[in-house]
Amino acid sequence: AYLNNKKTIAEGRRIPIDKAVENPTSTEIQDVCAAAGFNVLLEKNKMYPREWNRDVQYRGRVRIQLRQDDGNPCLPQFPTRKSVMLYAAETIPKLKTRTQKMGGSDQSLQQGEGGKKGKGKKKK
């Protein structure tokens, strides 16, 4: 919900809508954070309390180690939670799974056009 552009601020979005991503999954967030070099823990059965939809797609909590024990950031380029959220939202659309889904959906839309011939009332 923090990164979802379909949510409002009241529904839990924490970053600007123009930088947010459409329906990010917890595994996508985990992949992006692990690639950035964070220690990542994915809790599959956790849910965001304000999320009314109980689908598997909306499940999962990603926990990352932002700071070391002495209080210094683990990665100097990500000093705050918000910087990590903005990085994740910027990087998720570039994932291979996202780019392949986009290409596949365009083809299926083109194939499905014009399938409603002959439907409706006949003219007399």
Please state the domain extents for the chain: 9-98
pLDDT of residue 106: 47
Q: CB–CB of 46/40 below 8 Å?
A: no
Four-CA torsion 35, 95, 47, 80, nearest 10 degrees? 50
Say which amino acid occupies 123.
K
Q: CB–CB of 64/40 below 8 Å?
A: yes
d(Cα 88, Cα 15) in Å, to the nearest integer?
A: 11
pLDDT of residue 63: 92
The larger pLDDT score, comparing residue 33 to residue 116, is at: 33
What are the residues whose beta carbons fall under 8 Å from the beta carbon of 57, sequence distance 6 or more? 23, 25
Q: What is the pLDDT of residues 41-73, one digit of tens each?
A: 999 988 888 888 888 787 889 999 989 889 888
What's the CATH number of domain 9-98, 3.30.56.30, 3.30.565.10, 3.30.70.20, 3.40.50.620?
3.30.56.30
Range with lowest mean pLDDT among 4-8, 36-40, 119-123: 119-123
If we measure between CA atoms, which residue out of 65, 85, 82 comes closest to residue 74? Answer: 65
Range with lowest mean pLDDT among 26-30, 48-52, 81-85: 48-52
Q: CB–CB of 19/7 below 8 Å?
A: no
